[in-house]
Structure 1
Amino acid sequence: MSIQPLQALPIEQLRRRRSVKWRAYPEDVLPLFVAETDYPLAPAVTRVLADAVALGDTGYTPYDPGIRDAYAGFARRRFGWELDPSGIRTTGDVIMGVVELLRRVVGPGDRVIVTPPVYPPFFEAVPEAGGVLEPVPLIETDAGFELDLLGVEAAFAGGARVILLCNPHNPTGTVHSAPALRELADIAAGFGAAVISDEIHAPLTRPGVTYTPFLAASATAARVGFAVTSASKAFNLAGLKCALIVTAHEDTAAVVRRLPYEVHLRTGLFGALAGVAAFSADSDAWLDSLIAAIGANQLLLAELLAEHLPAARFRIPDAGYLAWVDLSALGWGDDPGRRILAEARVALHRGPKFGEGGDGHVRINVGCAPEVLTDAVRRIGALL
């Protein structure tokens, strides 16, 4: 039986939202930039939040609000990963978790590998933790993007202490293969280095693509790795502030246990409650419908670009509702998103912010109604 795609909310209703997506620009701008989606919440999430409001349940977050077991169940059902819940701790969001882990595994001035083009907050998280950025860009091949493992090995040999991995990768949507993750773990272990993996987009892996959590790639990966994830991207819960720091080995779990209790207290109670509902089996059908809607929109985007911007280069991503589009051939300069906003009144995430490999690119959020996506691409195409 085919899965019915989730329907986005009407744009008139969305414009009543007070999140950054709908407040950053005037109403004549179509916002397809920040990673928020336009769909109704999963029913289980709506119920638990409504119950909490009715109860006035707005206090501090308990140490174990149930999300550790909920995520372990989700990982078992969705990824085939048997995970010990005791190796999980919560904090406010993924970047908070990344910064706190970096503070424990690098010293002042130590180099941290990042793999641009990559999520822009990585470029701020590393210096916030006292590290120094060491870019090792992804390699683009005919088959897609992949890690430059030789470059990573050279960076570790030169003294880098950790790699900040993005799996699935933002903005390209690449799901790194299990063999590549195993090789990365072996390289890191050989230099006594660590891997911190941002896995926030993993629940949105499209059908037919096998997603491997870094910690599940091998025993070595479990020993050298930390993962940070959240329900916030798939279930549109960013404002509720709950992320998971995940370990799968006693050595890394010991590092996380030494984090100050304040790191946990940054977890929002609504975020934890919503996360439990999101990761429960009750939300699986909703998530499948969301993935179907995103997949249809990624195909629609490919068709729209072929019709209205035929010089654009776009590859259907392995995961997520973000689309990485190369507009270099249009001659709109290194930052085409600037012109698109000014003249087409469409807000996209601008490529140069993603570091090396971002010039000439834009990132488009397709987590919206097909009509909105169609309007946006037609507006951009009219600039030709």
Structure 2
Amino acid sequence: MTRILHEPSGEPNPLRALGLELLRRRTSMKWRTYPDDVLPLWVAEMDVPLAEPVVRAVTDALAIGDTGYPAGTAYAEALADFAQKRWGWAGLAVERTAIVPDVMLGVLEMIRLVTGPGGAVVVNPPVYPPFFQFVTHMDRRVVEAPLGPDLRIDFGTLEETFRQAVAGGRRAAFLLCSPHNPTGTVHTAAELSAVARLAERYGVRVVADEIHAPLVLAGADFVPYLSVPGGERGLSLMSASKAWNLAGLKAALAVAGPAAAADLARLPEEVSHGPSHFGVIAHTAALREGTAWLDAVLVGLDDNRRLLADLLGEHLPAVDYRPGEATYLAWLDCRALGLGDDPADVFLHRGRVALNSGIPFGAGGVGHVRLNLATSPEIITEAVRRMAAAPG
């Protein structure tokens, strides 16, 4: 596949646009969970103004009272065009898509389609905590196949986990996080092809959460799981919500490989009632017209990764940080600081910085924190200063 390389967009860095005083006027979870003296660098919300095409599309809809129920395939068509231009992937067929409320609810619906009650769902911890919470609440078993020390898929472990998951003829699914949250790992075409081969060998169905796909740095290549040899039986969930900060405008797409179309066709009709009409409008505008804004964000995030590495090297050199190739999340190994199993608790109560505890991410999470880089350099700098003072 060929893809468009990121080029300077000419747009100002959105991560530098909003000051702390303005951000504290927000009423979303990131800014209202903790007291005002806490710097919130935890939940996956970005401290940015929305891309102008998104604002315009939603405002225009409001102006004419276009506040009904979603309809049509504009979102899927926009995603297919984006995939072609951005990733060189022409295999996203609009007729093999379905609109779902958001990525995690879509994941659950896909797992229901390909497994039964009590079935195993394999995950690669440390991984996004709702993979555990949501799956367990839907009467499925989470089975862990931890990442290797290099924070990449350990294929020996994955194969053994697949073998155990399907023992006795049980149906199983592999919930693949691609790119990986929290590590920022971008799986290669070779790795994804190896996943597909193992899945086919053991009869495991792959459901790929690809919500962070647009947030891949220049120099790294995102490869859609459905594009690799053997990925035809896979199911993917995609959305513009993370890359364009649209979590409050609910809409996502389930995408089926050619051999999984019949599975997607069994999706209950009522699932399509959950997405927001404004969500569909916003996500479509982002994919169609928001790429220059996205490229400006990606440049800003790359700057923030370097800034965080420099700040940690200066103020907290014992913290192990391996900058990821994707997402706006940083996975920090704080075990050498001697702050116990949950350093996020220490950083919150002593430093007044809110980070995600590594413990809910599963195996490999103890002693780690997840830090949200999608904010201004000034806030990152102040956060690290506070974190450095916390161990004392």
Instruction: Give me the TM-score of the superposition, normalised by structure 1.
Output: 0.96
Determine whether 1:24 maps to 2:33.
yes
CA distance in 1, matches of 2:287, 2:122: 31
- 1:238 is aligned, of 224, 237, 247, to 247
* Equivalent in 149, 158, 161 of residue 164 of structure 2: 158
2:238 is matched with 229
Summarize deviations over 1:237-292 as a string: whole Å, max 9, x none. 0011101101121x311111111111111111111000110111x21111100100
Mapped to 1, the partners of 2:20 and 2:244 lie a distance apart of 19
Specify which of 262, 277, 300 is matched with residue 270 of structure 2: 262
Question: Corresponding residue for 1:278?
Answer: 286
Deviation at 1:2, TM superposition (A): 4.3
What's the counterpart of residue 126 of structure 2? 117
**Aligned 8 A contact 1:102 1:129 in 2:** no
Q: Is the 8 A contact 1:340 1:380 kept in 2?
A: yes
Partner SS state of residue 118, structure 1: coil
Helix, strand or coil for the counterpart of 1:134? strand
| 2:257 partner letter | A
TM-score (norm 2): 0.94
Matches within 5 A, 1:287-366: 287-366=294-373
1:98 CA drift (Å):
0.6
* Offset, 1:15: 1.1
Kept in 2: contact 1:92–1:243 (CA 8 A): yes
Structure 1 equivalent of residue 169 of structure 2: none
Amino acid at match of 1:235: W
Aligned length: 376
CA offset at residue 318 of structure 1?
0.8
Partner of 2:377: 370
**Is contact 1:91–1:263 with CA below 8 Å preserved after alignment?**
yes
Report the residue type matching 2:340 in the other structure.
G
In the alignment, which of 145, 168, 174 is matched to residue 185 of structure 2?
Answer: 174
What is the RMSD of the two structures over their aligned residues, measured on CA atoms?
1.2
Superposition deviation, residue 130 in structure 1: 2.1
| Mapping of residues 6-25 of structure 1, within 5 Å | 6=14, 7-25=16-34
Further displaced range: 30-39 or 104-113: 104-113
Does 1:81 pair with 2:92? no
Q: In structure 1, what residue type is equivalent to 2:129?
A: P
For the Cα contact (< 8 Å) 1:117–1:138, is it kept in 2? yes
Tell me the equivalent position of 1:380.
387
Of the three residues 190, 214, 219, the one matched with 1:208 is: 219
Instruction: Work out the CA distance in 2 between the residues paired with 1:188 and 1:129.
Output: 22
One-letter amino acid of the structure 2 residue matched with residue 97 of structure 1: G
> 1:242·1:275 contact (CA, 8 Å) conserved in 2?
yes
* Matching residue's letter, 1:156: F
Take 1:68 and 1:128, find their aligned partners in 2: how far apart are those partners? 29
Q: Which residue of 2 aligns with 1:70?
A: 78
Q: Is the 8 A contact 2:73 2:94 kept in 1?
A: no
- Asked if residue 40 in structure 1 is aligned to residue 40 in structure 2, the reply is no
CA–CA separation in structure 1 for the residues paired with 2:138 and 2:83: 29
What is the Cα deviation at residue 383 of structure 1? 2.1
Structure 2: state its 5+ residue gaps. Answer: 1-6, 167-171
Q: Which moved more, 1:120-129 or 1:195-204?
A: 120-129
Instruction: Write the letter of the residue equivalent to 2:50.
Output: L
Hey, what's the Cα distance between the residues in 1 that align with 2:126 and 2:136?
18
Q: Which 10-residue stretch deviates more, 263-272 or 126-135?
A: 126-135
Deviation at 1:61, TM superposition (A): 1.3
Report if the CA contact (8 A) 2:355-2:369 is conserved. Answer: yes
Q: CA deviation at 1:5?
A: 3.2
Q: Distance in 1 between matches of 2:160 and 2:149?
A: 19
Confirm or deny: 8 A CA contact 2:8 2:295 kept in the other structure.
Answer: no
Runs of 4+ in 1 over 6 A off after TM superposition: none
Could you tell me how far 1:169 is from its partner in structure 2? Answer: 0.3
